[in-house]
A = this chain, B = another copy of it.
Amino acid sequence: MRSYKQYCSVARALDVVGDRWNLLIVRELLLREPLRYTDLQFGLPGIATNLLADRLRELEAAGVVEREAAPPPVATTVFRLTDWGKALRPVVTELGAWGAMLMAGSAEGCEFRSHWLTFPLGNFFRDKEPGSPPVTIELRTGDEPMLMEVTEGAVEAHAGRAEHADLVLAGPPRTVLGVLVGAIPIEEAGAEGLTYEGDPEVLGRLEHLPVSPS
């Protein structure tokens, strides 16, 4: 990207990460460091391969990303964020919070990856009953199952499958998310493709933090 040539920290930040795709590359690395080139491609559907290569070079030159030759037996290059790159987490988090209300719109024609959920699930949910025993919710939507662990006031999300989940939600991403935030009552969600097993009452444990406008 051409520099804005403004002596302003916002403009200078955008000189580095304001280019198309750059903040999404950072999102991927924040979620699942370290990543191989092909993992990045999978998490960034729509990016042209030459662009990904260009961007990684630029971000490396700027000191946001590091390239590392992974030792055998893997024997491949992996990409990580530098410390400065990791400091972009609040930027990506705030952008995600601001864009949260856009998730209510249609997901028609959009790609989806399960691991994108770790950001919103971990940041914008709380456990309403910190004293109660932990609860596990398994989400089956997208390319891999995800787990939400509701424990001691907080919510943690990561990829994985549970031995015994208290609730399993399966269906299209928009419906699963709608049920979690309480926008779609679980009894009515069947019409939008949701199926579930387990105890729907555990959804009462989730508190969804307000989204903008704040």
Contacts and interface: CB of A to CB of B under 8 A. Distances in A.
Given A23-B14, A102-B16, A6 B86 contact: no
A38 to B, nearest CB: 18
Given A16-B102, A86-B213, A213-B87, A95 B10 contact: yes
Interface in A119-168: 119-120
29 contacts: A4-B24, A6-B24, A6-B45, A6-B110, A6-B112, A7-B107, A7-B111, A7-B173, A9-B97, A10-B27, A10-B116, A12-B102, A12-B103, A12-B105, A13-B96, A13-B98, A13-B99, A13-B102, A14-B23, A15-B102, A16-B102, A18-B20, A18-B23, A84-B101, A86-B213, A87-B98, A87-B213, A90-B94, A90-B97
